[in-house]
Chain A
Amino acid sequence: MSLTPSLKPLALAGLLSAVAAIGGCSDSAFESSFAYSEGTLSLVREAREGTKANPGVKKLLDDRFGDPQQLKAWEKMPIDFGGALTSVAEVKQSESGSQVVKLTVEEGQSLPAKAGTVHFMTGACEGETVQVAQWNAKTGEATLAAISGNEIAAGDSCVIDRGAGLSTGRMLYMRHCSHCHGTSGDGNGPTARYMTPKPRDYRNGVFKFKSTNDMSKASRDDLSRIVKYGIPGTYMPSFLLMKDDEHHAIIEYVRFLSMRGEYERKLVAELSSDYSQTAYESRVESGEKKAEILQELDEFLAEDLKESAGSLGDDLAETWTTADTEEAAIVPSVPREANTPESRRRGRELYLSKTLNCADCHGIDGAGNGPQTIAFEKNPAKGDELYNEPGLHDIWDNLNQPRNLQLGMYRGGRRPIDLFSRIHAGIQGSRMPSFKNTPHEDIWHIVNYVLSIPFETEPGATGVAPSAAEAVAVPAAVTVPVAE
């Protein structure tokens, strides 16, 4: 059916004959744009858009991450942008005078069938991307479209079609993910508003269910588990049957969106105290001259921000790189305690104990109905103001009540190690704190107890003495907890 690709223009012509003037109709799929965060939009115009001489937040961000049609691969970021790593074996001139570079791959790997660009990683042309006019996949000879100003030498390493993986990731993301998680990963796609809980907003770089310690980001493996197995109890479905390379591409793209969002936040954080619209207005009110503030902003953009733009990226890269190392992973120091009635009883004691106080949120029976769920919580974004509705909230300001452990539904996975990690590192973004200082044996006891809750015939049937239940200090029904 080779005729079919030509059907779309035909169909379009048919459909649009009445509305020809409307909208740019393009053949490129998923044409869209990244939204800027509220933080960026709260800055004064000059900080946002830049001054005559110096770039503002938007440009700094776009220069490094691009827009959906033209994604940029900022080499600082620990992202597998995709593409085939090769090295230059030989540089020749073709008969027509254009430069021909013969590329080789490492043994065991093969040259890609197509090549659009070559990006140089080392040598005189480092950082340059050159278009390929002709590509011979058998010999590895690439005829370059333009002659580089710098000299290409044998031994230079380069990448064919750098960023191809990221583009693949974007296409997959737009097809499978964007209607919930949004084009820019802000968790605000068109379908998102009908969901409880809300889809993740990647831009904080915070992921809830991960196997790394409380200070670390999620590893690639963690993200992969979520994509593969879904999150029971939410609308995040399992994408188990996606191919491995598709999984990889999607995860890299999610990490890309996450880094873009975080980088934007960091840039905004540099500026917001002095140059947000509100700060600017109050400064003007307190007598400062507009022109002086803007002059100062211009200098700040020219020196401080230009300087920190790079180091902020380094910091960001480091945190993401660490997440995939052993250093970040949670490894219990002791194997899981045998799942015996004694262990479960011990677990329940700990669960009810004053020090751990799990029942304060999860309830005495694990039904997720502890006193905190009916208390009014402080809204950190609004100072001392309380939320309108009772219960616990996450950092995205959504009501996020503690899990009902009786349902046997474990969002981050039901393996003992998953529950261990949840208790050890807490759940970032939510009010589930980290219990990393609790002895690992004790955590295992709690895990054993928690896993037994759905099968209890009556509360505490794991064999807890009544005195233990009394030991828990049950707060008065409605208290306003003191936010830390």
Chain B
Amino acid sequence: MATVSPALDAHGHADDHSHVHHEQSFISKYVFSLDHKIIGIQFLMTTLIMLMVGGALALAVRWQLAFPWENMPVVGQLFGLFRSEGGQISPEFYTMLFTMHASVMIFLVIIPILAGAFGNFLIPLQIGTDDMAFPALNMLSYWFMWPAILCFGCSFFVAGGTAGPGNGWTSYPLLSDLPTAAPGSGSSQTFWLIGLTLVGVSSMMGSVNYLTTIINMRAPGMTLFRMPLTIWSMFITAILQAFALPVLTAAGFMLVFDRLGTIFPTDIHSVFFIPANIIVNNSAPTVGGGQPLLWQHLFWFYSHPAVYIMLLPAMGMVSDMLSCMSRKPVFGYKPMVYSMAAIAGLGFIVWGHHMFTSGMNPALGMTFMTSTMMIALPSAIKVFNWIGTIWGGDLRFNAVMLNCSGFVAMFIVGGLSGIFMAAVPVDIYFHDTYFIVAHFHYVLFGSTLFGVFAAIQFWFPKMFGREMNDTVQKWHFALSFIAFNFTFFPMHMLGIAGMPRRYADPYLHGYLEHLLPMNRFITLSAIVMGFAQFLLLGNFFYSIFRGKKVGRNPWNANGLEWTAPSPPGHGNFDIAPVVYRGPYEYSSPEAEAIGQDYILQTVPHVKGVAKFAHH
């Protein structure tokens, strides 16, 4: 059936098969665009900006931990917030810094950069279709990010600029529930909650779209087990998102209803999370019969799966890239798929491990411990398979490969440190110490972001038709990787030394005083890491305009996206693709037969090739 010849250098019939182009205005082409690629790039740009915002907040946190109560650069004097204090920040400002750092990084960077940016850009291209199933919904999912960003932004300022939401990204009641409980628990907390809900709406629109698109719109021949692992990961992530998110949204609304007084001048409110007789800030005792632990259950029912939402797509993309850069099929494709599915499935029944010290029934603790231990298994399988993929490969040592290897190395650390926390008795000691901070930064920054750094460079040519400078990317990798480890590895030690999280001034406690030098070292490393990101940003924006122009398939990869023009026009493919094989047939005998070490998914089988190759 080899009637279609999708050879790469098939000139002459561009636009023949793609949808009819008509001139679009700038607004409808680049702003309120319905094109999944533009939306993906919009997400990417937005999240990169937010990455810098979140990073700046992190540096402010680090400054306070290294030089407690000393004049904080920029915020201390420039905005005049703390001029009368000589630039010394207030403790509630510190709580806001770490709260907003986490909120921005999780909700405005990691989730949208994976699902929003790469999910959008890659899904239609990799499954061989012209766009998402619901382009308008897709556009809305991006434009719901902006009200969310606006709400988060407002939450900084409604309380006078010195106290935004300061209850941690987990926002445990009652601190987040009673408006007088903390300086940031007034209307800024409400804005934060509304922002969170809007991010949820955006994610939900994306999920619905991804699920429908992946199920219904695959190109002919693209069976489920011929899908790249990126698509599998996006698919599983979308399922996770669609099932877990409603719980958080509901919980968010419950909290908003508890806090109705901060929206309308009313005394009427619900008491979902408010028990009776609580006196906060000298106010009248509360009337209620609620349970604060309910929030923790609901919150983590979403937020633990959310950890995998923040990780799985990166796992999928790294699998793709590692295979390509090793010129070798992914080791154990199906086990990779099954382990992702297992992670997602188990992900729904491990939320209680965030609550081992909360006073939850210990029998539940035992159950959650076992399920949490077991979720390490699919993660381990994936690591072994990645190493297996590299093993014996014809490696391309470019920055994509390095970042992917960095991903694997960092994921091992993050995964292994997680075992300590899964074990309840050990977690009793480590809960809410810097050990946890180290752990989740290894997973979320060490793994996900290094994966993202690789993915940006890998798919950059497809986005802009040019390539990024590999040398700059290598420098960026080396600096980020070293500074990252210098920043976060010592945090394990801080945790073992018993330093709790979220302390504005840990050195008040005698047993932590000697940790100041180490914290200074960490801060210095964090600053280096922060500034290293300008290499990425610089390279990114420079390359958009000045990068070397490249063809459709600069990496000699197999996926469908590489058969489309770079950048693909509206409608993606000039020839509607038909799929004949899996996405990872690098160095296969068939490829060898045509004198390449790769073979596109669209290349049809030729009878007798196998025999031919054995000559």
Contact = CB atoms under 8 A, between A and B. Distances in A.
- Asked whether any CB of A lies within 8 Å of a CB of B in the complex, the reply is yes
Interface of A: 1, 4, 7-8, 10-12, 14-17, 19, 22-26, 29-33, 35, 68, 174-175, 178-179, 182-183, 189-191, 193-197, 233-235
B82 A190 contact: yes
6 closest cross-chain pairs (CB), A and B? A32-B86, A1-B517, A190-B90, A23-B77, A194-B183, A4-B517
A175 B69 contact: yes
A178 B517 CA distance: 25
B162 interface: yes
Interface stretch (B220-228, B319-327, B402-410, B523-531): B523-531
B416 interface: no
A179 B517 CA distance: 25
Nearest to B78: A22
Contacts of B182: 194
Contacts of B528: 14
A194 B92 contact: yes
Interface stretch (B59-67, B130-138, B149-157, B485-493): B59-67
A35 B520 contact: no
A66 to B, nearest CB: 15
B188 to A, nearest CB: 11
Contacts of B163: 194
A23 B281 contact: no
B97 to A, nearest CB: 14
**Of A16, A189, A233, which is in contact with the most chain B CB atoms at under 10 Å from its CB?**
A189
B79 to A, nearest CB: 10
Contacts, number: 114
Contact of A7 (B82, B86, B520): B520
Interface of B: 59, 63, 66-71, 73-74, 76-78, 81-82, 84-88, 90-93, 160, 162-163, 180, 182-183, 281-283, 505, 516-518, 520-521, 523-524, 527-528, 531
A193 B85 CA distance: 15
Q: Chain B: interface secondary structure? A: loop
Given A14-B531, A23-B76, A196-B283, A32 B520 contact: no
Q: Chain A: interface secondary structure? A: loop
A11 B84 contact: no
B483 to A, nearest CB: 11
Given A4-B517, A15-B59, A30 B88 contact: yes
A16 B73 contact: yes
B420 to A, nearest CB: 26
B520 A11 contact: yes
Contact of B86 (A16, A183, A197): A183
A14 B90 contact: no
Given A23-B71, A178-B85, 11 more contacts: A7-B524, A14-B524, A15-B527, A23-B78, A29-B69, A32-B85, A32-B88, A189-B85, A189-B90, A193-B183, A194-B92
A15 B69 contact: no
Contacts of B87: 23, 31
Contacts of A189: 85, 90
B71 A183 contact: no
B281 A183 contact: no
Contacts of B78: 19, 22-23
B85 A179 contact: yes
A196 B84 contact: no
B533 to A, nearest CB: 13
A8 B283 contact: no
**Of A17, A194, A197, A235, which is in contact with the most chain B CB atoms at under 10 Å from its CB?**
A194
Nearest to A32: B86
B67 to A, nearest CB: 6
Contacts of B63: 11, 15
B90 A31 contact: no
Contacts of A179: 85, 88, 90-91
A30 B92 contact: no
Contacts of A19: 73-74, 78
Contact of B521 (A7, A16, A234): A7
Contact of A8 (B281, B505, B520): B520
Contacts of B76: 23
A406 B90 CA distance: 35
Given A7-B521, A10-B524, A11-B520, A183 B69 contact: no
A32 B82 CA distance: 10
Contacts of A17: 531
A183 B524 contact: no
**Of B73, B77, B523, which is in contact with the most chain A CB atoms at under 10 Å from its CB?**
B73
11 contacts: A4-B516, A15-B73, A29-B70, A183-B85, A183-B86, A189-B90, A190-B81, A194-B92, A195-B281, A196-B180, A233-B282
A235 B69 contact: no
B350 to A, nearest CB: 37
A30 B86 contact: yes
Contacts of A195: 281
Contacts of B523: 7, 11
Contacts of A178: 85, 88
B185 to A, nearest CB: 9
Contacts of B66: 7-8, 11
Contacts of A12: 73
Nearest to B74: A19
A133 B112 CA distance: 63
A26 B82 CA distance: 15
A32 B76 CA distance: 11
A384 B81 CA distance: 37
A35 B517 CA distance: 34
B183 A191 contact: yes
B282 A196 contact: yes
Contacts of A191: 90-92, 183
Given A174-B69, A179-B85, A4 B521 contact: yes
Contacts of B516: 4
Contacts of B82: 190
Contact of B281 (A7, A16, A22, A196): A196
B84 A35 contact: yes
B84 A197 contact: no
Contacts of B70: 8, 29-30
Given A4-B520, A35-B84, A190 B93 contact: yes
A4 B283 CA distance: 45
A113 B301 CA distance: 60
B189 to A, nearest CB: 13
Contact of A14 (B74, B160, B282, B527): B527
A30 B88 CA distance: 7
Nearest to B67: A8
Contacts of B74: 15, 19, 22
A31 B527 contact: no
A410 to B, nearest CB: 14
A189 B527 CA distance: 30
Contacts of B180: 194, 196
A8 to B, nearest CB: 6
A33 to B, nearest CB: 8
Nearest to B505: A175
A75 B156 CA distance: 47
A180 to B, nearest CB: 9
A196 B66 CA distance: 32
Nearest to A241: B510
A399 to B, nearest CB: 11
A178 B88 CA distance: 10
A189 B66 CA distance: 23
Nearest to A12: B73
Given A14-B524, A178-B85, A191-B183, A197 B282 contact: yes
A234 to B, nearest CB: 7
Contacts of B77: 22-24
Contacts of A25: 71, 73
Contacts of B160: 193
Nearest to B62: A11
Given A22-B77, A179-B85, A11 B281 contact: no
A396 to B, nearest CB: 15
Contact of A190 (B85, B283, B518): B85
